[in-house]
């Protein structure tokens, strides 16, 4: 049975003339690894290489919009309205009272947002940029669904 897999290839120069390369194959999605430790990765489905690229380029290609998540100390019911009044180009989502996600097609400048939070007495505890995982990139590029991969993996254990 051909299972989707990730192939990781890292090269490290020992001397100017002889690079030493190592290859490791990962079954999907059992083994996890930090894609930021490798230079390039390739996605293999059914024994065929479907994509090879630098990790950063794959992440950028898969990211449809830029998203920043803020964790705030206290919830404000009118926070979404305040943000949209000042930044109509953003999409604002507040699924949990103390977490708010702001998305846009372009990069999101943090300082104007932090100033606005400060003006309204909102303490920001954390701000972080959300990026797609390598799993999400794999699914987007290959068109495979995670549920199908999990079902195939569980079917192979019997």
Whole-number percent of the chain with pLDDT over 70: 68
Same domain, yes or no, for 12 and 52?
yes
Q: What are phi and psi of 152, to 5 degrees?
A: -65, -40
Number of domains in the chain: 2
At 91-115, the pLDDT tens digits run: 999 888 899 999 999 889 999 999 9
Same domain, yes or no, for 51 and 71?
no
Rounded to an integer, the average pLDDT of 140-145 is 77
Rounded to an integer, the average pLDDT of 22-31 is 40
Domain containing residue 114: 64-130
Q: How far apart are CA 90 and CA 88, in angstroms?
A: 5
Say which CATH number the domain at 91 has. Answer: 3.30.70.100
- pTM for the predicted model, two decimal places: 0.58
Same domain, yes or no, for 71 and 121?
yes
Same domain, yes or no, for 53 and 68?
no
Same domain, yes or no, for 79 and 91?
yes
Q: How far apart are CA 48 and CA 81, in angstroms?
A: 49
Q: Which residues pair with 41 in a beta bridge?
A: 8, 53
Rounded to an integer, the average pLDDT of 27-35 is 42
State yes or no: pLDDT of 42 exceeds 70: yes
**Collapsed DSSP state (helix, strand, coil) of residue 97:** coil
Same domain, yes or no, for 52 and 109?
no
**Collapsed DSSP state (helix, strand, coil) of residue 21:** strand
Q: What is the pLDDT of residue 22?
A: 41
Q: What is the pLDDT of residue 21?
A: 42
Q: How far apart are CA 102 and CA 36, in angstroms?
A: 25
Q: What is the pLDDT of residue 114?
A: 95
Q: Enumerate the H helices of the chain as residue ranges.
A: 55-62, 79-86, 110-119, 134-142, 146-156
């Amino acid at each position: 049975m051909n299972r989707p897999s990730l192939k990781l290839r890292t090269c490290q120069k020992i001397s100017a003339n002889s690079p030493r390369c190592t290859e490791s194959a990962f079954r999907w999605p059992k083994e996890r690894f930090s894609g930021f430790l490798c230079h390039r990765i390739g996605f293999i489905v059914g024994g065929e290489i479907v994509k090879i690229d630098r990790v950063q380029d794959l992440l950028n290609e898969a990211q449809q919009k830029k998203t920043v998540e803020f964790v705030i100390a206290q919830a404000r019911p009118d926070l979404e309205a305040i943000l949209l009044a000042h930044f109509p180009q953003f999409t604002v989502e507040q699924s949990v009272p103390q977490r708010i996600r702001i998305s846009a097609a372009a990069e999101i400048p943090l300082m104007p947002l932090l100033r606005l939070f400060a003006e309204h007495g909102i303490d920001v505890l954390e701000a972080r940029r959300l990026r797609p995982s390598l799993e999400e990139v794999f699914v987007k590029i290959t068109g495979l669904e995670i549920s199908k991969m999990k079902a195939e993996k569980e079917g192979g254990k019997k």
